[in-house]
Amino acid sequence: MNVVALRWQGASRIERLRSLVEERARQWWGEWALDQSRVPAVTVSGDRPLVRDGGEWYGIDGSSGRLFLQLPSHAFERLGCLLLGLPEPDSAGIAFGVGRRAISAAVRVLAGAQDEPRHLDHAPAPFFYAARHGAVSMTWKMDTIDLGVHLDDAMCRSLVPVTGHVAPALASRRTAILHEEVSLPVMLDLGRAGLAETLSLRPGEIVKSDVRLGAMVRVVADNGTVVLAGQLAADGDHRAIRCMGAQNQQE
């Protein structure tokens, strides 16, 4: 079973792709067109539905990634006339040949491929050109001719590589807090004992309070916030508080 990843290109990366494609389109125009005043413009098509019932599809595999080209009807003849400055196609097929070779040269340079683009019998599968799969669709406008250029995710990453600067992961609360010691004075009320008993105590004698081990203990800050809640416990020769809840774990 093939797994198709869902990913979208960011706005800044799409603009970099558009700018790169437009720059190469204008360089190509300068090499092929007799009239240099009509420079092509490249716009991003976004998520607009692709026209499936008209024109032709071509595909080419680059050094990394695929490029798909959607041409309107009679695109080669019309483009050849535009490049040669002809009012209409000639009977000898010169305009058709020039237009076809020009388009082939443009997409091969853009895709970094050696082979000619191949004609497709039908539109490619959506995951090759859909924006939700990382593809970017553009419209290459030359006078009255609009060409659809569709770059798959791998081709986008090849033309505009992802930068290596990755935002650092969020630190955990424990590692983000500075390693400082905090003093929390705690007054522990161990209950009541008779005054007569306390006055007659001799060294080594023990006064038992009415607070038993396991009694609930709360550590309260000056503003009334409960910092720590737990049970009175014994830890060797020390009295201790067994933590049952802390405010810094709840916030």
**143-192 pLDDT, tens digit each:** 888 888 888 888 888 888 877 665 666 666 666 666 556 566 666 666 66
Strands (E), the chain: 41-44, 56-61, 66-71, 118-120, 136-142, 145-151, 216-220, 226-235, 238-246
> CA quadruple 130, 132, 138, 144: dihedral positive or negative?
positive
| Sheet with 145-151, edge to edge strand ranges | 41-44, 136-142, 145-151, 66-71, 56-61, 118-120
The alpha helices in the chain, defined as continuous H runs, are: 11-32, 75-84, 94-111, 153-159, 173-176, 195-199, 247-250
**14-54 pLDDT, tens digit each:** 899 989 988 888 888 888 888 777 777 878 765 454 555 46
Residue 147 · residue 75 · CB < 8 Å: yes
The CATH code of the domain at 11-159 is 3.40.1550
Distance CA 81, CA 34 (A): 10
Q: Which residue has the tokens 């539109």?
A: 123
Q: Which two tokens stand for residue 105?
A: 């040269």
Looking at residue 29, its pLDDT comes to 87
Residue 73's nearest CA partner among 54, 94, 93 is 54
**82-98 pLDDT, tens digit each:** 888 888 888 888 999 99
Looking at residue 220, its pLDDT comes to 74
Distance CA 5, CA 1 (A): 13
Measured from the Cβ of residue 159, the count of other Cβ atoms closer than 10 Å reads 22
> Which part of the chain is CATH 3.40.1550?
11-159
Distance CA 112, CA 115 (A): 10
**What's the one-letter identity of residue 52?**
R
Looking at residue 144, its pLDDT comes to 81
Side-chain half-sphere exposure of 168, counting CA atoms within 13 A:
3
